[in-house]
Copies of this chain bind each other. A is one copy, B any other.
Amino acid sequence: MDQTSVFDFVLRKNADLVSFALGLPNPDLFPVDELTAAVDAVFKEPGDVYQYANPLEELRGHIVRLMAMRGVTCAPEQIVLTHGAQHGIDMAVRLLCGPGRPLVLEEISYTGALSVVSATDTPVHTVSTTGSLSEAVGDLLRAGVRPGGMYVMPEGHNPLGVSLPEAERRALVALAREHAFTIVEDDAYGFLQYDQEPRPALRSLDDRRVFYIGSFSKIISPGLRVGWIVVPEEHVDRALVVKEASTLEVATPGQYIVARLLDRWDLAGHLGVLRREYALRRDTMRRSLEAVLPAGTPFSCPDSGMFFWVELPEGVDTGELLEAAVAEYGVSFVPGDLYLSGPVQAKRNYLRLSFSCVSPAEIEAGAERLGRLFRDRGIA
């Protein structure tokens, strides 16, 4: 199945379906009352809200303070607003990569990064996700590859559900410095860390070699399409050219709504709610999967983000499994092959499960259905 048909398939409305496929943030956790108050304030005096707007200074000020929560010191001038993280990935690849300046990509990576590669015809070198990432990148560099950029998701990797250990972060940044390439850090899930003091962003380790991508989609609302990038100084001018060429500026209502919301809102309190609610679902999914997965099945349990990654036995084709899962068992997931490139591309036995849009009770029910499916198919 190609990506579009898979998503058409798993997004079909079906009241009885438990969807572990949807990776969207949970709309029940949107701060709707506070958003409504912000919307009322913004549209009460609609003067400028319908006109083009330059980036609102107060919004960039709020983002500077958010970045401090991720351990990052930056100036408003380094922040370029985007239409969400996807726009940031596209801009990063356009700025950093091209013929002779390939992108380094994990062989299991976010579909949004893969679609940018496809849309830009960017040359790619993949690295394995099974061992040390920095060692794999080091091997590539020693083999003579001279990358323009490397895309990574150090927190809540989509789909792998892992976070990068501190030593790996330092090693990657050291490689980027030594070999003069830029790390593209997709931190869409950086504010959703569940288990301890939040790890700071990669960008906190280096200003010049890390291109940071942030988004309000997972912590406020994805529909507003407001995100940002924090650009190394040397790329700021060019980033503004690419930004203006691609879309002029972010929609004015979105800018104002986010700015008014952050003016008066207890964001830290909201993040606490999000972390608690998602962690509850994560814990439920881990327990439920342990109970139903074939013994010894490797799977990741995320301590940030929204995804579990499961490796079923060799020979299982999760794309084939999906059709039966939806039609006969009332549960869905995303087959893992959508996220693959490079040597692992032919593998069909991975699947991604998301807990973001389901309740704990639904997670238990859905896992039980998965378990029945696996047993009925003799996957053990």
Contact = CB atoms under 8 A, between A and B. Distances in A.
Contacts of A251: 83, 223-225, 251, 253-254
A84 interface: yes
Contacts of A246: 86-87, 90, 119, 246-247
A116 B48 CA distance: 27
Nearest to A99: B99
A143 B242 CA distance: 32
Given A50-B30, A50-B224, A223-B251, A119 B94 contact: yes
Interface in A250-285: 250-254, 257
Contacts of A250: 225
A245 interface: yes
Interface of A (DSSP majority class): helix
Interface in A31-88: 32, 35-36, 39, 43, 46-53, 83-84, 86-87
A241 interface: yes
A24 B53 CA distance: 11
Nearest to A40: B43
Contacts of A253: 223-224, 251, 253-254, 257
Contact of A247 (B94, B98, B225, B252): B225
Given A223-B252, A246-B246, 4 more contacts: A4-B240, A52-B217, A83-B248, A118-B245
A95 B47 CA distance: 37
A277 B28 CA distance: 46
Contacts of A32: 46, 50
Interface string A347-372: 00000000000000000000000000
B119 A52 contact: no
A266 to B, nearest CB: 18
The 7 closest A-B pairs by CB, nearest first: A223-B252, A119-B245, A50-B221, A225-B251, A115-B245, A83-B247, A119-B242
A200 interface: no
A48 B24 CA distance: 12
A239 to B, nearest CB: 10
